[in-house]
Structure 1
Amino acid sequence: MKFRLTPVAAALTAMFAVPSVALAQDAPAAAPVAETAPAAPAAEAAKPAERAVQLPAVKVVGQQDTPKAERVSSPKFTEPLLNTPQTIQVIKKEVLQQQAATSLTEALRNVPGITFTAGENGNTQSGDTVFMRGFDTQGSIFLDNIRDLGTAVRDVFNVEQIEIVKGPAGADNGRGAASGYINLASKVPVADDFIAGTLSYGTADKRRITADLNEQIGDNTAVRLNLMGQDGGVAGRDFIERQSWGVAPSIAFGLGTSTRAYLFSQHIRQNNTPDGLVPTFGLDGYTLNNSPDRPFEQTLAAAGITPRPVDSSKFWGSKDDFEDIEANMMTVKFEHDLSPTTTIRNLSRYGRSEQDRVLTAPGAPTVTNGTPGTAGTATAAPTAPNPPLTARDPDDFTVARTRHFSFRTNDILTNQTSFSTNFDTGPLKHTMGGGLEFLYEKQVTPTYALPAGTSVPAVNLYNPDRNLAVPALVRNGAGSDGQTTTSATYLFDTVKLNEQWQLNAMLRFEHYRTETNSVSIASATNNTVPAVPNGTLIPLRVEDSDNLFSWKVGALFKPVPNGSVYVAFANSLKPPGGDNFSLVADFAANGTPNANVNSPALDPQKATNIEVGAKWDFLDGKLATTAALFRSENENDLARLDGNEVIQYGEKKVEGIELGLVGLITNDWTVSFGLTKQDTEVTEGTFAAGGSTQTGAVISWSPDVTATLWTTYKIVPLKLTVGGGARYISSQTRSSNNDPDAINPVTLQRGQVGLFEIESYTVVDAMASYEATKNVTVQLNAYNLFDEDYVQSLNNSGLRYKPGEPLSYLASVILRF
């Protein structure tokens, strides 16, 4: 091919000198499907999957793009998904575009078994707060198979596909959640020329523009640039603003040769008005306090007042609330084929994310006048009737507010070297690989507080005033600085015994060292021995190091070429400080034991999983079906004994079934369906004075049933595509409590206040697109088509919630050249 450097290519190359950002989801046109290249020798066909993902064949056939993925991006997975003994779901960029999904949270609505929390304290709506199969997965999100601990709400504009790997996966990535992990595979240059873009406008004045430009330079070089900009509000919420932009330039050398190099980066800025959420007062199941006699409720009832919910569109925050996020990442990757059967790789990355955020959030309401008395003991809640209490007029109800902050910087530096090879030992065919990983991660979190003698004023519950002055937070000298260094080595092998049987095994050994430097402030409840004056800064340095050994094994049987049945076992470990490198001392400054999962005196939490499943492809491989039974157990959870002693005897168990269907029913009809039915249980939990409150309870944020569906149909003569989907989530609780209404015989109080449970809900979405020309498509998305009123997520205290988005629309013009 004749060498050429067009102005577009020159501009793309120059972008590497300019900070950039990425937050959109356009991709090269999603019209035709790449046809499989002619059959290659066995050695060639067995080359790593990663190369196949980055260098697809360019010969096309007239068939609508399929939501069915064949492989994941990591070379640690040696086989197609059909022959991989594990539940893995892949969301391709074509589905993201059909749904006009812009964030990871929106994309994960396609995945059964996933829920979202509203966070607590400074974490309210901070980044992607994900629960999967009963466990917190926020610390197990990866970008190009490298851990990403940033707090930004992740945009998908620069994402080729999203891979959800379920079940403990310590052998894949080291420390991690018991539930699995989520990986976002970035777009990289391909040997092709195309320009794609989207212009969108929707409800709440939402405006978004994205671009995806790829150009081949000569025979073996290509450049790619992804751009995103977004501004506007949030449907159904006043004064919440989202403003972001992103740039992701990349260049590739040696495409189609034995030596390939990729240089790519991503730069993101977000300037938002954060959401402090909505008071739960008046919702079904809400309680004002934990007194057995409910004196506040009885006082309102005696006055003929029925608590009514607030208008969820209102804003209980302050005009001074803000959130500024900056995230930058640079990656260099090299690949070299030593032979047709052996490839080595090296990848280096540096990334930094910074978040500065202050939000004002509502808390408990005040609905009565007077101070309630107490009865029984000093710790008992007030009884009813309670003469000192009188009901306020509902127009005079107020709600307390608090200011939450998050000032955090995360750094990551990593170098990874790996190899994969194919060879035979007699009749056995091996696909083997291994590697070395070195990782440095750091997190700095300074602490802020209200100036001495100040407080945040309450606002009217039903008519809040955002302009009411609130004190600014000031740096108080406290905070923490944590870092972890990790060295790891791993080895995997897939052994094909014959055409029907294969065995898989992977082992990983890693050594980590975590150091935390923190500063706390002396107070009446937090002081040294001997004591120092209140307000004195108390420095502390804590260190911990250990070795982790992770593994997974599987056996797979193929009764027919298009089907497989398997059994798999795996584990994962999460050491103290594993999520945010924030260790605490074994004992508090005053000499009492620290009841904290991040104490280095504790052992890592241990998760094990067994999965039995089947995968079957139909319609000449166009439609994939999956079914799996799974059982996960997590040990070494913290639990509290009757004498308030904290030890690691806590255990949790999750078992269930997951079904999936994805692909093409006809060339014009696509479908993606998933269902998870799970039973969760705290098998050993905290034993509170007066009786156990956790053992036997369900795990928080873990609905029994979740289901998702998305389908589209292309009416070819009309150049029209119509589609829609639904998602169902059954009820879920915000804490593990086997009887939240029980009265504790010691404290004489009930277990919960606020809202304890999120009710089940079903949401239906729809879309339609029209191909105006071969280069221009117009698309309309409708979300929550039946305007379902529901609670999407809840904070840990049950006092505030995020409402589900009401009926809203987004119109888009999609360009492809």
Structure 2
Amino acid sequence: MSHIRNRKHASNRYLTTALMAAAAVPALSTAAFAQDKTLEGVTVTAEDNTYKADVVSSPKQTQALIDTPKTVQVIKKEVIQEQQATTLLEALRNTPGITLQMGENGNTSSGDTFQMRGFDMSNSLLVDGLRDRGVATRDTFNIEQIEVVKGAGGADTGRGASAGYINVSTKQASLDDAASALVAAYSQGGARATVDVNKAIGETSALRLNLMSQDIDTAGRDYVNRTGYGVAVAYGVGLETATRFHLSGQYLNNDNVPDGGISSIGWEGFYNATAEVRNGAKVRSENFYGSVNDFEKQEQGSVTAKFEHDFAAGIYFTNVARWSNTSLERVLTGVNGITAATPSNPSTWTLARSRQRVGQKSETFNNVSNFVTSFDTGALKHDLVFGFEYSDEKTNIGTYTAQGTTNPANLYNPNPNDVMASLPLAAATATTTAWTISDTQVSSIYVFDTIALGDKWIVNLGVRSDSYRVEYSTYASNNTRTADLKANKSISAYKAGLLYKPTLNSSVYVSYATSVTPPGSAGTLSATGVNINNANVDPSETENLEAGVKWDLFEGHLGLTGAWYKTNYTNQFVQDTDLDGFAENYGDREITGFEFGLTGKITDKWEITAGIQTMDDEQKEGGTVGSTSRWSPELSASFWSTYALSDKIRLGGGARYMGEQKRDLAVTGPAATSNMPSIPEYWVVDAYASYALTPKASLQLNVYNLADEDYIAQLNNGGSRLSPGAPRSATVTLNYRF
């Protein structure tokens, strides 16, 4: 049994991948430090293995990953830096089964919107173990590692988490002095700079500063751009003593040009009832159908306080509290259907556009108190975790009338300087039709116990109970309250696992876990009877059964994992097929598949992280029986590997495969009778090279989509528009370690 002993005393040397945000700084770099953790029977040295992690950051998880009966993938900052991934979604490309969503019809999704194993993950994102609900595009400049936990995660995180959850672990202060920076230049135009400085300011205290500044054009798209800056500060006192306190804050400001996508005309599978349109040529992937006045402003701010104490009685206590605030203000020109007044003359075809405005603010307070202790009962050894959580999540969303009279665009030659028929920023035309306020309060208690029966058998048990309350109000543009809804629910989730260790460095396991998704879990309620967010609707339930093996090879340097999983999403709220307006909780959806992973060092010079996942998604009852869910590929895979040719030269690269993602879910009959029925399968290959100029400076080259594959990254639910995958592009990065 490889349970963690005194992990809070571990000597942490953090790799600093920092940035010089000031333009006057000539060189920026990324440097790595070791992070040593000593486990009973397992020794981890991050400096010796930059890809493989043996533990996760959460104190709720008392076991090494090899003794954790579930699929867990850790994406470390070293991989993020090598790939020059700048956003959370770019980093998650290292996880198979992640698919992106574009939104409904002319609308475009905001922030990190994606699915994992066929389920929406918008409300299953955590930062340092606390739920992060804000609509935001998360940046990587302050990320230590990303922990992807798959399978129903209700016992760990509470409501939702049908497919699992993702925890972002941020950079913290340590007693090891270090500084590094990088500056990156992009072939499509733009640059990004980051700096990371950690400084001990006493025997037991330290300060860490991370900065980011960027102005990056989107590869393969005209006008679309990401601009912003970020600041993160972390202070620690009492480090490497029995009582420790960490205070950290982060602020991120983005001012982007949003992208409504392009028409799907001409792509393989496209259909239109008019023959000439059906056979029409593709539009240029670079075409921008928006306006030069479109914008997207995002602000994210948070303050986190963490207190840790080691009691003499052998109890490890942590309390983490965070306040966060996120705001989004966006004006977007949406893209809709084709009008071919003269089908024989494509130069006259137009694309309908709508002018849209979105305003949203969210404020959240989270607190979790966690206790960990170990004790024996006869021959049984226990690692017990129990704790309490509280969260208060407030959102304020303004909904504005879409200005559908906006001038249509020429399909093949759009003009972003077109004078729009309406200007959403003007009070007379940007009519507020409604705004909503919601307040979700959740109180939770949980208990987990890991029981060792000798050296070979481990039993994992856990239960969590949530009591939540949602208050939801809607208002008309004249401030008249039009609805005042409430929901109160108590839900429970469970997990259990049995693990056998044939050897110290291997395990075989079977596990069972549940999650519950009640109405209003995303902060929205409805008075409509046929609506999943009606307060009287019973919660949907998820059960996940998993059986797998884990094996650490080459003295623990290379981790091999494999698992079979079956997820049943039951008690779905579905409408009867006779369309009489009656709906009830009887839907049943089943997802089965396999997942394999390989992470770590094959030799001293060769490192790899790779994964492959299959997914068979079928509606068993309710809805269209036998159909699959949208955006659920049967096969997906990711791969990244590097090899050190010498002390100065490192080469590598990777590939991503995504199977077909269906939009049209019909089991029988013809495919979709309009637009694109699915996202076709695709491969994307990337390349990497690094050369050490000096012991402290290195030059890095990343080439993305090396084969210049023409593919669809996202498709809207109506199939009329898409986001094209980025064409071949390159990034040159100068890394410097001070």
Q: Same fold (TM over 0.5)?
A: yes
Shift of 1:457: 1.4
Look up the match of 1:459: 409
Number of the residue aligned with 2:19: none
1:534-586 Cα distance to aligned partner (Å, 9 max, x none) = x996611000001010110101000110100000000001111212x11011x
1:783 to 683, 704, 718: 704
**In 2, Cα distance between the equivalents of 1:123 and 1:555?**
46
Separation in 1, partners of 2:229, 2:434: 33
Give 2:707's aligned amino acid. F
Q: Give 1:696 shift.
A: 0.3
Closer, same or farther in 2 for the Cα pair 1:155/1:36, shift >3 Å? closer
2:5 aligns to what?
none
CA contact (8 A) 2:587 2:622 kept: yes
Q: Residue 440 and residue 34 in structure 1: after superposition, are their counterparts in 2 closer, same or farther (change >3 A)?
A: closer
1:657-678 deviation digits (Å, cap 9, x = unpaired): 0011100001110011100011
Please report how far the alpha carbon of residue 244 of structure 1 lies from its aligned counterpart in structure 2 after TM superposition: 1.0
1:738 to 660, 667, 672: 667
- What whole-Å deviation, never above 9, does each CA across 1:29-67 have from its counterpart, x for those lacking one? 22x645666x8xx7xx99xxxxx9xxx98xx97x4x420
Alignment partner for residue 345 of structure 2, among 393, 396, 420? 393
Shift of 1:519: 2.7
Asked if the contact 1:543–1:600 (Cα under 8 Å) also holds between the matched residues in 2, the reply is: yes
Alpha carbons 1:740, 1:752 under 8 Å: kept: no
1:193 aligns with 2:193: no
Q: Which residue of 2 aligns with 1:553?
A: 496
Aligned AA (2:729) = S
Offset of 1:28 from its aligned partner?
A: 6.7
Q: Say whether residues 1:721 and 2:654 are aligned partners.
A: no
C-alpha deviation, 1:735, in angstroms:
4.5
Does the 8 Å contact 1:633/1:653 carry over to 2?
A: yes
* Residue number in structure 1 paired with 2:306: 333
Query: Which residue does 2:617 correspond to in 1?
Result: 680
The answer to whether 1:261 aligns with 2:217 is: no
User: 1:621 pairs with 550, 556, 578, which one?
Assistant: 556
Structure 2 CA distance for aligned equivalents of residues 122 and 658 of structure 1: 35
In structure 2, what is the equivalent of residue 631 of structure 1?
566
Alignment pair present for 1:407 and 2:359: yes
Distance 1:347 1:223, change over 3 A: same
Deviations 1:697-745 (A, max 9, x none): 111101000011100001225x100011001011011253323627xxx
The aligned counterpart of 1:603 is 538
Q: Distance in 2 between matches of 1:577 and 1:123?
A: 22
- CA 1:181–1:555 in 2, change beyond 3 Å: closer, same or farther? same
Aligned to 1:472: 423
Measure the CA separation in 2 of the matches of 1:733 and 1:403.
28
Paired amino acid for 1:334: F
Q: What is the CA–CA distance in structure 1 between the aligned matches of 2:487 and 2:720, rounded to whole Å?
A: 36
Identify the residue that residue 703 of structure 1 maps to in structure 2.
Answer: 633
Q: Which residue identity is paired with 2:432? A: N
C-alpha spacing 1:139/1:27, structure 2 compared with 1 (3 Å): farther
How far the C-alpha of 1:646 sits from its partner, in A, is 2.4
Partner residue of 2:513 out of 564, 570, 587:
570
1:793 equivalent among 714, 723, 729: 714
Separation of aligned partners in 2, 1:800 and 1:121 = 8
Counterpart of 1:541 in structure 2 is: 484
TM-score of the aligned structures, taking structure 1 as reference length: 0.83
What do the CA deviations read for 1:502-550 (whole angstroms, capped 9, x no partner)? 10111101100001001358xxxxxxxxxxxxx9966110000010101
More displaced 10-residue stretch of structure 1: 732-741 or 456-465:
732-741
Deviations 1:240-262 (A, max 9, x none): 01101000001000011000000
User: What is the CA-CA distance between 1:647 and the residue it aligns to?
Assistant: 2.2
Q: In structure 2, how many angstroms separate the alpha carbons of the residues matched to 1:782 and 1:348?
A: 41
Partner of 2:17: none
Query: Would you say the 8 A contact 1:28–1:194 is kept in 2?
Result: no
- Structure 1 contact 221–253 (Cα < 8 Å) conserved: yes
Q: Does residue 657 of the first structure (1) align with residue 657 of the second (2)?
A: no
**Percent identity between the aligned chains?**
39
| TM-aligned CA deviation for residue 105 of structure 1 | 0.8
**Distance between the aligned counterparts of 1:399 and 1:249, measured in 2?**
47
Among 144, 148, 156, the residue aligned to 1:160: 144
8 Å Cα contact 1:125/1:275 also seen in 2? no
**Aligned residue in 2 for 1:306:** 279
Corresponding position of 2:442: 486
Give the secondary structure class of the aligned counterpart of 1:204: coil
Q: CA deviation at 1:366?
A: 0.8
Number of equivalent positions: 704
Distance between the aligned counterparts of 1:250 and 1:66, measured in 2? Answer: 23
Q: 1:153 to 1:34 in 2, by over 3 A?
A: closer
Tell me, in whole angstroms, the C-alpha distance in 1 between the residues paired with 2:657 and 2:410: 35
Pick aligned residue for 2:526 from 575, 584, 594: 584
What residue is the counterpart of 2:297 in the other structure?
324
- Asked whether the equivalents of residues 490 and 506 of structure 1 are also in contact (C-alpha less than 8 Å), the reply is yes
Query: Equivalent of 1:181, from 165, 174, 189?
Result: 165
Contact 1:478 1:537 in 2 (8 A): no
Specify the SS of the correspondent of 2:78: helix
How do residues 759-774 of structure 1 correspond to structure 2 at under 5 angstroms?
759-774=680-695
**Which residue of structure 2 aligns with residue 528 of structure 1?**
none
State the SS of the aligned residue for 1:309. Answer: coil
Alignment counterpart, residue 712 of structure 1, candidates 624, 642, 647: 642
Query: Which position in structure 1 is the counterpart of 2:8?
Result: none
Q: Partner of 1:203 in structure 2?
A: 187
Match status 1:29 vs 2:31: yes
Aligned partners of 1:794 and 1:235: how far apart in 2? 18
1:517 aligns with 2:473: yes
Question: What is the alpha-carbon distance in structure 2 between the residues aligned to residue 703 and residue 210 of structure 1?
Answer: 36
CA deviation after TM superposition for structure 1 residue 405, in Å: 2.7
Alpha carbons 2:470, 2:487 under 8 Å: kept: yes
Q: Is the 8 A contact 2:473 2:481 kept in 1?
A: no
When normalised by structure 2's length, the TM-score is 0.92
1:506 to 462, 484, 509: 462
Match of 1:646 among 572, 583, 603: 583
1:421-468, Cα deviation, whole Å (9 max, x unpaired) = 1111111111101111111001110121257xx711111000011111
Q: Does 1:131 align with 2:119?
A: no
- Are 2:105 and 2:718, in contact at CA under 8 Å, matched by a contact in 1? no
Report the RMSD for the aligned CA atoms in angstroms: 2.1
Instruction: Pick which of 499-508 and 645-654 moved more.
Output: 645-654
1:186/1:729 Cα in 2 relative to 1: closer, same or farther (>3 Å)? same
